[in-house]
């Protein structure tokens, strides 16, 4: 499958809008800021931040980019499902349990957090599907 040499910011924004809408969280606002990660969902504000670091997405960054967007979208889905305050509390409760050594075999409140594990699994399971969709749409 041939992928364009780079993906423009316009196309990237279209892809994100499509993903958010598809999963029923089309009301999430999208903003841009400088950061290392491709994206970050800020639960308190209901804002999906996109990195300004990447002016364009190169083919070798595509997988990571799509996984990150879908991962962050999953947090938005959880926030909608539970209400953002409850979701934040649940997330923090899990992180604390892990960091206090109450969960066997888990030590990292972030990476071992079940909400993070689920979000990452969701990203890993769905990025190829979206790659096909966006390729068909001519966005990449
Ligand atoms: Zn996450």
How close is the Cα of 75 to the center of ligand 1, in Å?
7
Q: Taking a C-beta distance cutoff of 8 angstroms, is the pair 67, 123 a contact?
A: yes
Q: What is the model's pTM?
A: 0.91
The conformation of residue 57, written as its DSSP 8-state character, comes to B
- Identify whether 139 is part of a domain: no
Span 71-86, pLDDT tens digits: 999 999 999 999 999 9
Among the residues of the chain, which ranges form H helices? 9-22, 59-82, 84-99, 114-136
Q: Is the dihedral of CA 96, 70, 62, 56 positive or negative?
A: negative
How close is the Cα of 69 to the center of ligand 1, in Å?
10
The conformation of residue 54, written as its DSSP 8-state character, comes to -
How close is the Cα of 56 to the center of ligand 1, in Å?
22
CATH classification at residue 14: 3.30.2010
- Identify whether 1 is part of a domain: no
Determine what percent of the chain is predicted with pLDDT higher than 70.
96
- Identify whether 137 is part of a domain: no
* Distance of alpha carbon 51 from alpha carbon 72, whole angstroms: 13
- Residues in the chain, how many? 140
Mean pLDDT score of the chain: 92
- Identify whether 19 is part of a domain: yes
- Identify whether 13 is part of a domain: yes
* Distance of alpha carbon 42 from alpha carbon 86, whole angstroms: 14
- Identify whether 101 is part of a domain: yes
Determine what percent of the chain is predicted with pLDDT higher than 90.
74
How close is the Cα of 37 to the center of ligand 1, in Å?
11
Parent domain of 31? 9-132
Nearest in space to 84 (alpha carbons), one of 112, 108, 115, 106: 115
- Identify whether 61 is part of a domain: yes
pLDDT exceeds cutoff 70 at 1: no
How close is the Cα of 102 to the center of ligand 1, in Å?
21
Q: Taking a C-beta distance cutoff of 8 angstroms, is the pair 42, 55 a contact?
A: no
pLDDT exceeds cutoff 70 at 130: yes
What total of structural domains would you count in the chain?
1
- Identify whether 138 is part of a domain: no
pLDDT exceeds cutoff 60 at 63: yes
């Amino acid at each position: 499958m041939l992928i364009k040499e780079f993906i423009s910011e316009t196309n990237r924004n279209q892809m994100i809008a499509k993903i958010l809408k598809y999963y029923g969280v089309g009301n999430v606002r999208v903003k841009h800021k400088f950061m290392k990660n491709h994206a970050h969902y800020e639960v308190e504000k209901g804002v999906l931040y996109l990195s300004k670091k990447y002016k364009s997405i190169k083919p070798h960054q595509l997988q990571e980019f799509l996984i990150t967007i879908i991962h962050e979208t999953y947090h938005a889905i959880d926030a909608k499902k539970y209400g953002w305050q409850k979701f934040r509390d649940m997330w923090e409760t899990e992180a604390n349990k892990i960091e206090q050594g109450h969960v066997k075999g888990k030590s990292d409140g972030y990476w071992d957090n079940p909400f993070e594990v689920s979000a990452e699994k969701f990203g890993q399971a769905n990025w190829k599907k979206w790659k096909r969709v966006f390729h068909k749409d001519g966005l990449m």
